[in-house]
Structure 1
Amino acid sequence: MAFHDQVANMDEQLLAVLGDEAVIEGRDKPVPGFISVPWLQPKFGQLKTPVREPVFSIRGLDAVGVTSQQKLVLDLPPDEGGGTYIIVKIEPDGTGWINLVLREVVR
């Protein structure tokens, strides 16, 4: 088995066990990936601000046709990153994965 095939198989197994699924606007099926919602906490003088930058990482093959301004919905509890988002930026990470930088839709 070629290295590329082994990596694809490993990615598939990791997504099946540890991954999340998101519904991206215009797609019939959910897209598997990993959600990360880090706190950036930039400092403005002495004031720390609680700014979050949610990122949903997906495989390059699943990113075909994804564009900025599409809606992305994660059916998870809010404290685990669930909610409705707008895709703000699409950033390849150089490993075959694409990071979708998100902005939370406030209701």
Structure 2
Amino acid sequence: MGIRDLVASIDDVIFDVLGDTGHIEGRAEPVLGMFSAPWKQPQIGRLNTSIREPHFVVRVADSDGLTKGLRVTIDLPALDGGGDYDLLQLEPSGDGLVSLILRKRP
């Protein structure tokens, strides 16, 4: 078993247990990922970053064929950042994951 296979099996467990559900326009099945809305995170200390957009981290296989402008619906309560978003861009991290950078739909 190669390192990518090992990491993929670990990701399967982590996403199944801890993942948030997202629905991507044009996809019949929901996608598991990790949603983050930076302005809703608890503040511990002071960390200044330039990342302000919400993002939904998915596996590379789940990002295949995605394009800017698609609607992404995050299945969380509104107070936790759930709702409809537009996909702004995809940012691969090189470790088998891709951040979908989102903008809240009006």
Counterpart AA for 2:92: P
Q: 1-side partners of 2:101 and 2:85: how far apart?
A: 9
**Counterpart of 1:16?**
16
Structure-to-structure mapping, 1:17-96, within 5 angstroms: 17-39=17-39, 52-96=52-96
Q: Runs (4+) of structure 1 moved beyond 2 Å?
A: none
Q: Following the alignment from structure 2 to structure 1, what is the Cα–Cα distance between the partners of residues 32 and 23?
A: 9
Distance 1:18 1:26 in 2: 24
- RMSD across aligned C-alpha pairs, in angstroms? 1.4
Please give the alpha-carbon distance, in whole angstroms, between the structure 1 residues aligned to 2:67 and 2:56: 13
Query: In the comparison of the two structures, how many residue pairs are matched?
Result: 95
Measured after TM superposition, the shift of residue 61 of structure 1 is 0.8
Tell me the residue number matched to 2:99.
99
1:24-77 per-position Cα deviation (integer Å, ceiling 9, x unaligned): 0000000110001113xxxxxxxxxxx941000001111001111000001210
Larger radius of gyration: 1
How big is the shift at 1:91?
0.8
Match of 1:5 in 2: 5
- Runs of 5+ in structure 1 lacking a partner? 40-50
> 1:89 Cα shift?
1.1
Measure, in 2, the Cα distance between the counterparts of 1:71 and 1:93: 22
TM-score (norm 1): 0.83
Aligned residue for 1:61, secondary structure, equals helix
TM-score, reference length from structure 2 = 0.84
1:73 partner amino acid: T
